[in-house]
């Protein structure tokens, strides 16, 4: 089964981005998103971000208040307001959604799948992020369907942008 089919069938992935290793799945697949949240032991109300399949998808679903070409593709997560408050509510309750388009090979598969894809650091909530698959918790590795090894990454989480301003993590 190719990567696009695995994305569309709700598989959980560990994958390299242009920053750190991510944990993700098809954001439209509610059971897969729930499985991911359980795996991370994440507060159920804490929002997740998505990798958008395209700039057009962002413009159709979110209120764009920044110059997208300045940040995407790249090492940024933009916090944008949803056009419809309940849009992807199982991913992020409230009126905003974190969205990014990383500059990495895995993004090509998301483009082809044409669905938003959960992007969160591949670690248990509160623990260190991973820059190499060898640093990923063995329990997490045993619970995912697909691990894509992209070597050693640069080791900085994406920069958050909200209301056109950089937010320090």
pLDDT tens, 113-148?
999 999 999 987 778 889 999 999 999 999 999 999
Give 63's pLDDT tier (boundaries 50, 70, 90). very high
Give 166's pLDDT tier (boundaries 50, 70, 90). confident
Can you list the domains of the chain with their CATH numbers?
Answer: 3-167 (3.90.870.10)
| Residue 38 backbone phi and psi in degrees, to 5 | -65, -40
pLDDT tens, 95-109?
999 999 999 999 999
* Beta carbons within 8 Å of 8's beta carbon, 6+ residues apart: 26, 113, 115
Beta bridge partners of 21: 16
Q: What is the pTM of this model?
A: 0.94
| Residue 23 backbone phi and psi in degrees, to 5 | -120, 130
Give 156's pLDDT tier (boundaries 50, 70, 90). confident
pLDDT tens, 6-49?
999 999 999 999 999 999 999 999 999 999 999 988 887 899 99
In the block, residue with structure tokens 């994958």? 15
User: What is the pLDDT at residue 167?
Assistant: 85
Residue 1 reports pLDDT greater than 80? no
In the block, residue with structure tokens 């301003």? 165
User: What is the pLDDT at residue 169?
Assistant: 66
């Amino acid at each position: 089964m190719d990567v696009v089919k695995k994305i569309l069938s709700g598989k959980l992935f560990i994958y390299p981005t242009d920053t750190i290793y991510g944990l993700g799945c098809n954001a439209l697949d509610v059971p897969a998103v729930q499985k991911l949240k359980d795996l991370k032991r994440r507060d159920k109300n804490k929002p997740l971000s998505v990798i958008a399949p395209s700039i057009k998808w962002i413009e159709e679903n979110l209120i764009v208040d920044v110059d997208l070409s300045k940040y995407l593709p790249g090492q940024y997560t933009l916090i944008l307001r949803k056009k419809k408050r309940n849009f992807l509510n199982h991913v992020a309750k409230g009126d905003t959604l974190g969205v990014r388009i990383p500059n990495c090979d895995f993004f090509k598969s998301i483009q082809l799948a044409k669905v938003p894809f959960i992007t969160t650091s591949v670690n248990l909530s509160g623990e260190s992020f991973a820059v190499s698959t060898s640093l990923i918790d063995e329990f997490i590795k045993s619970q995912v369907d697909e691990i894509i090894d992209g070597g050693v990454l640069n080791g900085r989480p994406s920069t958050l942008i909200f209301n056109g301003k950089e937010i320090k993590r």
